[in-house]
Structure 1
Amino acid sequence: MAEGTAKLTDWIQAKVNPIAVKIGNQKYLAAIRDGMTAIIPLTIIGGFSILLASPPIPTGMKATNFFFAFMLAWQKWATANANVLMVPYNLTIGLLAPYVLVAITYYLSKHYKMNLVTNLVSALFAFFIAASPSETVKTIQYLPQADLGAKGMFGAMLIAIAVVEINRLFITHHWTIKLPSSVPSGVAAPFEVLVPMVVTTVIFVALNAICVATTQSYLVGVIYLVFAPFANVSGTLPVILLLAVLAKTLWFFGIHGDNMIGTIVTPITTLNIALNLKQYQAGHAMTHIFAGAFYSVWGGWITYPAFLIAMILIARSARLRSLSKLAPIGTLFNINEPLIFGIPTVLNLWFFIPNIICTVLNLTIVYFLTLAGVVGKFYIYTPWTTPGILQVFLASMDWRNVVLWIAILIMDILISLPFIRIYDRSLQKEEGLTPEAA
């Protein structure tokens, strides 16, 4: 058995790990991953802005106690100051696509060691062309906010990559205006990108005109329509579970599974939470379950606290008892590396099995309860270090999620107890103790 496991591990490390490394280092995926990470502070600011402007108060609430009176006073204050309070939301999540474009352009340009400013200017110009109706060019009065917000994210990703690659193609082949070497680089750089920028302008003006003529939608909107089915499918329970099991399996073999799936998951969950927030702000029913930290907060960010509590309750081996004292602070703030590498969970079936069981059960239960409207959907992005029990409330402003989080935690503890007990006994034997004597 041990020999078979060792062979499988060697095969995984030899065959799968190089693929994982290549995916993690793939220039476009890496730029998207890093770019989406860079805009997280904006989504947090925008989320709390709309929370201040639109407090979650049910219809018919009366000031029968101090808390209800406070909530109604908050609502009155928010209504009176809505225009001011909504400014951060309108300029963050309401304009999410340009920020995504800038961040991805930056990281891809940095990868190629290209001039950052000229690429950023080129990409922004191309994006505004692709998000503009013809009357904008004539009157220069407005740009459609729908294509500048969350729905424009996919267009921003593709346009950022396309513009940088066009610029790189022209610069690499020297199809540019070259000024004498005596000219300062700051002066020469804009001329170097002039020819590819002209080509980019022609391409995107033509594509946008074709899209408007054939679909009555701008290029950015058409790109969203193409990617929308993929985004919707990725939010279904089977896909969520598949990604979760894949991530846990990769972790079992020592590969950072969350980084692997993060490139796929993060753009989708960011788009979904932005759409939920927009629907909430408009007073409409939210439609996306797989939004924000849904996967993380109901996955590893609750299973590892369950493992830790189970260890505190029953562990007698020196290793697990030491971890039980060292890991709580980190685990409270979703920093699980002390447990992952201290237990360790790599190649450890006694933690892999309950991890898979708990994660699948957690996500399935929460998914259907959310679908049924028993608990609220996530529409506010919170910092990833926010403790889970607090995060499920802040992300949804629904106290029922807190009750569900506690219930799920207890379930995970009960599931993991027998597995941890067996592993703890094996550690006791390695330490020269017996379960009876410990």
Structure 2
Amino acid sequence: MADQSASFKDKFSTAIGRFSGSRFVRAIMAAGYSVITFSIVGAFFLILTVLPTAFPIPGFAAWYAGTIGRFTNVFQVIYNSTMGILALVFSGTFTYTYTQIYRDEEHLNLEPLNGLMMFLMAMFITVPQLVWKNGSIQFVQSLNKANIIGGGYAVSTSGITRIASVGIFTGLIVGWITVQIYRFTIKHNWQIKMPDSVPAGVSNSFSALIPGFCVAFVVGAINLALVMVGTDLFKVLYIPFSFISNIADTWWGFLIIIFLIHFLWWFGIHGATIMSSFYTPIVLANMAANVHGANHFFAGDPLNAFVIIGGSGATLGMAIWLAWGSKSAQLRSIGKVEIVPALFNINEPILFGLPIVYNIQLIIPFICAPLASGVVGYLAVTSGLVPKIILQQPWPTPVGLSGFIATASWKGAVLSVVCALVAFVVWYPFIRHYDRTLLKHEQATEAQEAAEQN
């Protein structure tokens, strides 16, 4: 049985490791990192527009309206220039990185910048809304206030709709198609080769000419076929994205995500990295929707704000207790090393030093503590007790400040601290028992060493 268990662990870890190291996942992770700067810049200017809500101080709203509030439309424009083009930034970085990975690992004559440019072309093929009418393809036109469409482009005060966060999933699929077509054409030598004397920039442009035509033809043909049956590529791809998003936004879907993150971590696999490759497009889209009136809990970065405070396993409170409350020399030393990183949601010293990974004695609190804090966070926000998440804080943001930034409210800060305390309540009996077990072992070892010396 032990051999079978070890075999299962090895096979499971290998399979998940291969997935996490796949080209597609690595490219998505790079895309996720690329939007951090954009989301932080956008968040700063969004905060400027919601200051009266964040600080409900008597007289402040009137002062704001006569000063900073006069420039809110400018702040909105800057916000739209970050979050309003999120599909292009996220999916464009994905395509660039994906092309780069294939170039380096398959040693193909692929130019990442060409991949990016072809993606932008292909993406904008899917952006205009078209309709088959009176025997021809026509642009959709609408002057309805709730749905303004001119020349096929749906617009609002947030900019062109389909290139914002709602287009991320479409962008990923279009990016994948672009790279695969580019890769196929180059592998089969469908390219125009220029003499060595021609400058590299000119040569690269011509080498992408045939792949570019192929990308335009394939994406355009798919979109045309769908338009003729009453839909288009964007709408078809948005259906599964919307379905998955709705599931993730439910309390049980949210808890499943938390469970999977920690179940994978217990095997030594970075669960947060694996799962975020799936849910990052969803939380970004939900966050942008919240800014414009929606009410999604699973938006921005709810995990680092209200769930895994101190790192995976919600170990901040436990780390503090290890440093000052534990009796075991091993745990106390680990706590002192971990206390500062834990404030910034980094807890590898605990995961591998305690250890938690493969430690059957600590798997229950490791999974249940973040589930408990997740339930508290979910209920507080969805009940309206705490404002919804409208900003994405940097993941290392300390407890309290993370909740404040995420919700632009002091209530979010309080909730963040409460969630950390709830997680510690779950951890306490288990870590205290573990501390006593290690202390007895240390004392027995010391007694044995002393006896051997005598």
Same fold judged by TM-score > 0.5? yes
The amino acid that maps onto 2:14 is: P
The answer as to whether partners of 2:49 and 2:72 remain within 8 angstroms in 1 is yes
> Match for residue 417 of structure 1?
428
Question: Partner residue of 1:165?
Answer: 180
Deviates more, 1:396-405 or 1:93-102: 396-405
What is the Cα deviation at residue 152 of structure 1? 0.9
Alignment of 1:195-234 (within 5 A): 195-215=210-230, 218-234=232-248
8 Å Cα contact 1:55-1:75 kept in structure 2: no
Q: Where does 1:38-49 land on structure 2 (aligned, <5 Å)?
A: 38-49=34-45
Q: Answer yes or no: is the 8 Å Cα contact 1:54–1:78 preserved in 2.
A: no
Deviation sequence 1:236-277 (CA, Å, 0-9, x none): 222222222222122222222212212112222222112212
1:84 aligned to which of 74, 84, 91: 74
Does the CA contact (< 8 Å) of 1:56 and 1:397 recur in 2?
no
Farther off after superposition, 331-340 or 47-56? 47-56
Query: Are 2:83 and 1:93 equivalent residues in the alignment?
Result: yes
Q: Which has the higher helix share?
A: 1
2:58 is aligned with 1:68: yes
| Alignment match, 2:26 | 30
- Whether the aligned pair in 2 keeps the contact of 1:147 and 1:221 (CA below 8 Å) is no
Let me know the Cα RMSD of the aligned residues.
2.7
CA contact (8 A) 2:286 2:298 kept: yes
Unaligned stretches of 5+ residues in structure 1: 62-66
The alignment partner of 2:115 has SS state of helix
CA contact (8 A) 1:123 1:159 kept: yes
CA offset at residue 105 of structure 1? 1.1
Q: Determine if contact 1:152/1:221 at 8 Å carries over to the other structure.
A: no
> Residue in 2 aligned with 1:111?
101
Query: Which residue does the alignment assign to 1:359?
Result: 370
Q: 1:221 to 1:79 in 2, by over 3 A?
A: farther
Ranges in structure 2 where 5+ consecutive residues have no aligned partner: 104-109, 131-137, 141-149, 447-454
The structural deviation recorded for 1:366 is: 2.2
Superposed CA offset, 1:71-110 (max 9, x none)? 5423433331123222321111011111122201111011
Rounded to whole Å, the distance in 1 between the matches of 2:223 and 2:168 is 16
Following superposition, the deviation at residue 363 of structure 1 comes to: 1.5
Alignment correspondent of 1:247? 261
Output the amino acid matched with 2:305.
Answer: V
The offset of 1:428, in angstroms, is 1.5
Rounded to whole Å, the distance in 2 between the matches of 1:251 and 1:41 is: 27
Count of matched residue pairs? 418
Alignment of 1:2-401 (within 5 A): 7=3, 10-57=6-53, 67-113=57-103, 114-133=110-129, 144=155, 145-215=160-230, 218-277=232-291, 279=292, 284=293, 286-301=294-309, 303-401=314-412
Partner residue in 2 for 1:64: none
Q: Would you say the 8 A contact 2:372–2:422 is kept in 1?
A: no
CA drift at 1:56: 4.4
SS in 2 for 1:431: helix
Partner of 1:400, secondary structure, is helix
Q: Residues 301 and 168 from structure 1, CA distance in 2 versus in 1: closer, same or farther, beyond 3 angstroms?
A: same
The AA in structure 2 aligned to 1:101 is S
Give 1:171 deviation, angstroms: 1.0
Q: Which has the higher strand share?
A: 2
Q: Which moved more, 1:73-82 or 1:185-194?
A: 73-82
- TM-score w.r.t. the length of structure 1 is 0.87
C-alpha separation in 2, matches of 1:409 and 1:366: 10
How far off its partner does 1:221 sit? 4.0
- Structure 1 residues 217-226 or 170-179, which shifts more? 217-226
Q: Once the 2 structures are TM-superposed, how far is the Cα of residue 140 of structure 1 from its aligned partner?
A: 8.4
Alignment check: 8 A CA contact 1:9 1:253 kept: no
CA contact (8 A) 2:322 2:336 kept: no
